[in-house]
Amino acid sequence: MISKYFIQKLLVVCCLAATIGLLSACASDSPMSTFGAQGPGAAQLEDLFILIFWAALVVFVIVGGGLVFTVVRFRQKPGDTSLPPQIHGHRNLEIAWTIAPILVLIVIAIPSIDGIFALANSPDEDSLTVTVTGHQWWWEFDYEDEDIVTANELHIPANTVVNLNIESSDVIHSFWVPKLQGKIDAVPGHSNFLWLEADEPGTYLGQCLEFCGEAHANMRFVVIADSLEGFEDWKANQRAPANTPSGRAISGSQLFLSKGCIACHKIDSTGGTIGPNLTHFASRGTFAGSILENTRGNLIKWVTDPESMKAGNQMSAQAPVYTNPDMAMTPEEVSHIVAYLQSLK
């Protein structure tokens, strides 16, 4: 027998759970929240979510309300041994609860299918195209026909469609900028497509959303939407050759070559491609998968002991300076290399 006290407790628990759920979803101003969309792609996804939420809420209220009504109305009372009226084979009810879910699914399916096609096809196929490559654990951005390659910071013009070819150099990653667009996987040996657009200039945070190894949580990036004039200025700066070093940076540039840094990192057209392109490294606000601010202090720590700054990074394992004791650097040499990196604007 279900007591009235038990039913009251059940209702209180359900109300508390619903309240907690609603409150936990109220941080719409969070930079990694899908609410408060700031691009047409993300706005369409947000609208679809809201539609599905209200449809699901209506279903929940009807089904949950019917369940509570049934439990209360037809509960067994003290001394009552008779069964409640049976409705098995009630044709009208069975038709109703067969048709109702179909109608709900139709309401959800039409905008869902429309959204799938809208997001799969670029509104402007001839617009700016960028090849995005996921690495363990950083992002590379290659601007097709622009002769620009950068890392972890994707600059785009605001109010302009940007077409992205999403690829991976090693394992499966996932490219996601919640304020601008939904996510899509970066698969080795395969190119996926995504387009995005920012409603206004600003900085939008991104994150790898597919577990890809030890440093997955630290595989972040930022999308910087510039004004049209600002984007053209940025492109002009990125196409220019690396700055000519002076002062301590001259010694740092020589150490960059002799200590093996150039084997993994490219400066202008010279160097390897295992690590990020550093031609204009100092123009970036962050590094190491966008988890560290580009400051002298962080750079010194990173060059000295990258593993303590970002566990699982590939720099410690691949660079000869860390695997060969004969190529270890003194604090002064580290300081010179950092001065060189900070000159690459």
What tokens appear for 62 in the block?
């009807």
Which residues does 315 contact at the CB level (< 8 Å), separation at least 6? 264, 275, 306, 322
* Euclidean distance between CA atoms 268 and 289, whole angstroms: 21
Confidence label for 2 from pLDDT (cuts 50, 70 and 90): low
Query: What rounded mean pLDDT belongs to the chain?
Result: 86
> Domain spans of the chain?
4-23+31-77+90-120, 128-238, 248-343
- Residue 329 pLDDT more than 60? yes
The pLDDT of 2-10, averaged and rounded, is: 61
CA–CA distance from 299 to each of 221, 241, 254, 295, 334 (Å)?
18, 22, 18, 6, 9
CB 321 within 8 A of CB 259: yes
- Residue 177 pLDDT more than 90? yes
Confidence label for 324 from pLDDT (cuts 50, 70 and 90): very low
Listing DSSP states for 257-310 in one string gives HHTTGGGT--BTTBS-SSS---TTGGG-SEETTTTEE--HHHHHHHHH-HHHHS
Q: How do residues 119-136 score in pLDDT, each as one tens digit?
A: 888 999 889 999 999 999
* Euclidean distance between CA atoms 130 and 157, whole angstroms: 12
> Tokens 């995504």 map to which residue?
194
The pLDDT of 29-52, averaged and rounded, is: 87
Q: How do residues 208-257 score in pLDDT, each as one tens digit?
A: 999 999 889 999 999 999 999 999 999 999 999 988 888 889 999 999 98
Longest dimension (CA), the chain: 97
Domain 4-23+31-77+90-120: CATH class, spelled out? mainly alpha
Superfamily designation of domain 128-238: Cupredoxins -  blue copper proteins (2.60.40.420)
User: Could you check whether 128-238 and 248-343 share the same CATH topology?
Assistant: yes
Domain 248-343: CATH class, spelled out? mainly beta
Confidence label for 4 from pLDDT (cuts 50, 70 and 90): low
User: Residue 122: phi, psi to the nearest 5?
Assistant: -65, 135
Q: How do residues 265-309 score in pLDDT, each as one tens digit?
A: 999 988 888 889 999 999 999 999 899 999 999 999 998 888 888
